[in-house]
Amino acid sequence: MQIKRLPEYLKRPIATLDNEQNKKVRHILKEFNLNTVCDGARCPNKCECYSNLTATFLIMGKTCTRNCAFCNIEQQVPDGLDEHEPKNVALAINKLGLKYAVITSVTRDDLDDYGANHFCKTIFQIRKLAPDTKIEILTPDFCGSYEALLQIIKYKPDVFNHNLETIERLYPIARQMADYKTSLEVLKFIKENSADVITKTGLMVGLGENEDELYQTFCDIKKAQVDILTLGQYISPSKKHLSVEKYYTKDEFDKLEKLARQAGIKYPIFAPLARSSYKAAQTYLQVIADK
């Protein structure tokens, strides 16, 4: 099958070490031995984020126990947890002066609690060392463990994000080791058991979904009481990953945003290069202002 060429409107400059802000972010990450999803997942917005002295921290290592066909993060047996990482994340946030931090992780199905306690330790250290910083966590599904989710809730992140990634029909292709209904239940459980926590999820388009399937997904997300939905264009990281079936235009994104609002999604953040952390701080402030 012929590989579709990346449209010009999806191309972004590569972050370079010549930019002073970029150099500062990289220096701090190296100083505290930290990873970012910006690097691990080859995010197209990395240059912009690093230049604004921010990054999305990737905890619990650089390798994942799952093998999603769209994701650039390496899948293999991961190393043990770094006990210093939660504090180091907090120190880096403090040094960068972040008022809003996004913490995500690889999936750790090898751990008894699927990594929930490591998230909790990280939230605790940020609250201790950078108390003015708002915290968004972007988590795996913890295999649907209510015990793990209740543990997270106790530490009160400001925003709980868990990505659906795609429509239900494409899960066996794109997310072979995940379950659509489990991911929805995770989001629903958080909202039902911690109403004050803002919930959030994200989708990609371009994997072969159709408009009706997307609208049904929007309705499922609304039923799970999710507050914020991000939607962006899938860009294949390499020839080894799923190929792009369709590149959506800006007008098509605008149409999908209208559909999401029709489904009841109050805060849809739709754009070709929208990713989980896209406009995260601004959207959080908007939700708070509307409460």
The CA distances from residue 33 to 44, 94, 143, 235, in Å, are 23, 15, 28, 28
CATH for 15-290, options being 3.40.50.2300, 3.20.20.70, 3.30.300.30, 3.40.50.1820:
3.20.20.70
Q: Is the pLDDT of residue 43 over 60?
A: no
What's residue 1's pLDDT?
A: 45
What's residue 98's pLDDT?
A: 93
DSSP track, 120-179? HHHHHHHHHH-TT-EEEEE---GGG-HHHHHHHHHT--SEEE---BS-GGGHHHH-TT--
Quick one: pLDDT band at residue 41, thresholds 50, 70, 90?
very low
Lowest mean pLDDT among 27-31, 230-234, 268-272: 27-31
Q: Mean pLDDT across the stretch 59-81?
A: 86
pLDDT digits (tens, 9 = 90+) for 153-168: 999 999 999 999 999 9
pLDDT digits (tens, 9 = 90+) for 77-119: 888 999 999 999 999 999 999 999 999 999 999 999 999 999 9
Quick one: pLDDT band at residue 253, thresholds 50, 70, 90?
very high
128 or 238: which carries more pLDDT confidence?
128
Quick one: pLDDT band at residue 259, thresholds 50, 70, 90?
very high
What's residue 9's pLDDT?
A: 74
The CA distances from residue 291 to 26, 131, 243, 285, in Å, are 37, 22, 41, 10
In whole numbers, what is the pLDDT of the chain averaged over residues? 90
What's residue 238's pLDDT?
A: 81
Q: Is the pLDDT of residue 273 over 50?
A: yes
Tokens (6 digits) for 8: 């010009």
The CA distances from residue 151 to 139, 157, 174, 220, in Å, are 13, 11, 29, 25
Q: Is the pLDDT of residue 288 over 80?
A: yes
Q: Is the pLDDT of residue 67 over 70?
A: yes
Show me where the domains of the chain are located: 15-290
At 115, the amino acid letter reads G
Q: Is the pLDDT of residue 175 over 70?
A: yes
Prediction pTM value? 0.93
pLDDT digits (tens, 9 = 90+) for 185-238: 999 999 999 999 999 999 999 999 999 999 999 999 999 999 999 999 999 888
